């Protein structure tokens, strides 16, 4: 059991499930079914493997589920099934909510060459699971953390002493390098300094299209800031290579999945 799942279970169980211990016989055997109560894209099924013995998974992460479909089934002592029900649902509902929203973003840009990226705007401690859920929904994972790619933003530029200096100082890392540019002057300076991946933040689709025409293929372009389901296609049609949306992880609604216990 991974640390985050163990922590969640310990948080809920504490010294024991007093309700279940009081009214459910210790030797009673049962099965439980996880059921989608609305159309959704499922994610987080790997958590069930950590909480239950040999769960039967009727879906895979990334599968679409219709209302009423069984996602997974577990068997064992009724007490054990009930003790772990809420923790399992919390993970499944949250992660499937992310996958469902991610699929909507991916569908919104279908037919364009632009790819949707997630961000680091994740629940503390749940980043790996949430990014796995986003990928299951069809978007592309951006960097996992501060350690696996260079992303120079406005505060880095200010601290380093300018766009060119920031690029020069980070080139030696050998890691993928992306830099945020806020003005046309910064854009031109970044390109002249050898930047090959640019982040355009908080531009309108019309402004982004103008900047991308000036870039003219000399660098890959990511657009971000205020990206919603309503405008993501407009940004994708600017010619951007990527569009990133923090909402995929920080604003996804937990979807409705229920657990039904049946005696064996």
Residues annotated as catalytic (active site), given as ranges: 86, 121, 153, 180, 201
Tell me the C-alpha distance between 20 and 41, whole Å. 31
Half-sphere exposure for 58 (CA within 13 Å, toward CB): 14
Residue with tokens 């880095």: 156
Distances (CA, A) of 97 to 38, 51, 89, 188, 250: 11, 20, 12, 40, 11
- Paired tokens of 218: 């000399």
Q: Strand, helix or coil at 213?
A: helix
Distance of CA 165 to the CA centre of its chain: 33
Residue 187 burial by Cβ neighbours in a 10 Å radius (0-12, 13-18, 19+): buried
Contacts of 119 (CB under 8 A, 6+ apart): 142, 224, 244, 245, 246, 248, 249
Contacts 24+ apart (CB under 8 A), 4-9: 4/125, 4/126, 4/129, 5/47, 5/50, 5/51, 5/87, 5/91, 7/125, 8/87, 8/90, 8/91, 9/51, 9/84, 9/87
Q: Strand, helix or coil at 239?
A: coil
Residue with tokens 């929203």: 101
């Amino acid at each position: 059991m991974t640390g985050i799942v163990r922590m969640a279970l310990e948080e809920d169980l504490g010294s024991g499930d007093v309700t279940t211990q009081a009214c459910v016989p210790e030797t009673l055997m049962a099965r439980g079914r996880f059921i989608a109560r609305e159309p959704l894209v499922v994610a987080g099924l790997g958590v069930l493997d950590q909480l239950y013995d040999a769960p039967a998974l009727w879906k895979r992460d990334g599968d679409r589920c219709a209302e009423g479909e069984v996602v997974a089934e577990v068997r064992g002592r009724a007490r054990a099934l009930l003790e772990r029900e809420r923790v399992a649902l919390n993970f499944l509902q949250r992660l499937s909510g992310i996958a469902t929203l991610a699929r909507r973003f991916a569908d919104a840009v279908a037919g364009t060459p632009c790819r949707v990226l997630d961000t680091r705007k994740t629940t503390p401690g749940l980043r790996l699971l949430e990014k796995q859920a986003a990928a299951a929904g069809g978007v592309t994972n951006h960097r996992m953390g501060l350690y696996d790619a260079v992303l120079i933003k406005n505060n880095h530029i200010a601290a380093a002493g300018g766009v060119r200096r920031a690029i020069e100082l980070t080139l030696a890392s050998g890691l993928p390098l992306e830099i945020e540019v806020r003005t046309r002057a910064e854009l031109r300076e970044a390109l002249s300094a050898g930047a090959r991946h640019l982040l355009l933040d908080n531009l309108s689709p019309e402004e982004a299209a103008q900047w991308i025409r000036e870039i003219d293929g000399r660098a890959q372009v990511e657009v971000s800031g205020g990206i919603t389901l309503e405008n993501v296609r407009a940004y994708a049609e600017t010619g951007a290579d990527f569009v990133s949306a923090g909402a995929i992880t920080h604003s996804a609604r937990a979807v409705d999945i229920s657990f039904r216990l049946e005696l064996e």
